[in-house]
Structures are given as structure tokens and as C-alpha cells.
Chains A and B, each alone.
Chain A
């Protein structure tokens, strides 16, 4: 099966600019996650979708970050305006279900550098 697709692979922007990332999960995977991974750390959850509904966005900095999954398939994560501390890899993951034994399949991520 095809993996989780993400684009762009790399992005460099100046602080206060906006940026958007795109993710297409594995076909049939109802659950989609966006994680932020700062260099040398583990992934940190930003938002979880179940189909087109938000399940958990408690750690999403909503003053600058937004995400949507309008048709329950692909998803977009946006940052506006970006700050230097947003420099990180943004990982999208999907899973077949929400159950505890379902492993995640991650995309290759988008490496964001804010200068």
C-alpha cells in the first residue's frame, strides 16, 4: 500500500511569514495526526482527527496554528505568523483506527526552518 504522503519536503521562511503543509494519509485510515518534532526530541502531538472531526487539539497553539481535514481524507496544517521556535519537522501520521494496538504510519515529514 502507498505510504503517508507529505509535501513540501523542506521549507525555509522568514519569521512572521505564513506556511502550509499538506498530508495525504494511507487510504482507508480514518485517524490522522500532526506531530511536531524539534531536533533531538520526540514527536509532540499537535492535533488528532477522526475522519473530518477534531478529536484532540489541546496542544495546538491556536493563536498561530490551524489545521483542517475537510473531506476526511487529506489534511493541511498552517502556521501564521511563524516564529523562530517553530523550526522543526512536522510529521503527519495515520492509523487504521484509534485503538491502543494500532500502530501509526508516519510520513517523511516537512522540515521547516524559520529565519
Chain B
């Protein structure tokens, strides 16, 4: 089976930087993805890491270390609208298998 661990809640100040960690245990590994979900909304795709290293997309970056079974999502210049839940997700058995999601990290951005 697969399991993903991420903190349940994080609070950060507007304008600051926050890192949301994700560790995973899978029988195989075919990439780590991150999704954002606002309350009552649909999850939206943020990033994908198939190889080790950092991927940057605007204010958001995502990192993967396959040897450590670990990744993180980095949000810079936090804005109030970044308050949402963030989910890491993996594909385990092959590149074609569906995503398995973590339980999510609820980020609260405060003034």
C-alpha cells in the first residue's frame, strides 16, 4: 500500500515564506504532485516532480528527494488568498495508476 504524511495545519504571516513537507511510503514511485483546494472548491494542480530537485512556478516551488522519500511545497510572498488546503499525491505502481492523496495541510495566512 501507500501512505503519505504531511502536517495537518500550518499558520504563517502574510508576506512570509512557508514550507509544507510530505513524506511517503510506496511500493513503487512515479512522481510527487501537489494540489491546492480552497474551502468548498475543487482541488487544482500546482506542480509535479518526477526527478530529484526543485521545480519553480512563480511564487510556488516544489522539491523532491527520492532517496529520502520526501518532498516539500514552498510558498513565497504569502498572500491571504493562499489560505487553503494543500495535498501531496503520488502514483505508486506505475505511471498510469491513479493518484493517491495525503490527508492535506490546512494553511492559514494571517495579517
Selecting from A14-22, A37-45, A65-73, the interface stretch reads A37-45
Kindly list chain B residues whose C-beta atoms are within 8 Å of the C-beta of A93. 43
Q: How far is the CA of A108 from the CA of B44 in the complex (A)?
A: 10
Let me know if B50 and A104 touch, CB within 8 A: no
Chain B stretch 26-43: residues in CB contact (< 8 A) with chain A: 30-31, 33, 35, 41-43
Selecting from B64-72, B76-84, B96-104, the interface stretch reads B96-104
A25 interfacial contact with B, CB 8 Å? no
Q: How many residues belonging to A are interface residues under a CB distance threshold of 8 Å?
A: 25
- Residue from B31, B48, B98 whose CB has the most chain A CB atoms within 10 Å: B98
Q: How far is the CA of A44 from the CA of B104 in the complex (A)?
A: 12
Let me know if A103 and B48 touch, CB within 8 A: yes
In the complex formed, the residue of A with least CB distance to B87 is: A42
Identify B96's interface contact among A35, A41, A98, A106, CB under 8 A: A98
4 pairs of A and B residues whose beta carbons are closest in the complex: A103-B45, A42-B101, A100-B95, A98-B96
Chain B positions near chain A (C-beta within 8 angstroms) = 30-31, 33, 35, 41-45, 48, 50, 87, 89, 91, 95-104
27 chain-A/chain-B pairs, Cβ below 8 angstroms: A33-B98, A35-B101, A41-B104, A42-B87, A42-B89, A42-B101, A42-B103, A42-B104, A43-B43, A43-B87, A45-B99, A45-B100, A48-B98, A91-B42, A93-B43, A99-B96, A100-B30, A100-B91, A100-B96, A101-B50, A103-B48, A104-B43, A104-B45, A106-B42, A106-B43, A108-B41, A109-B42
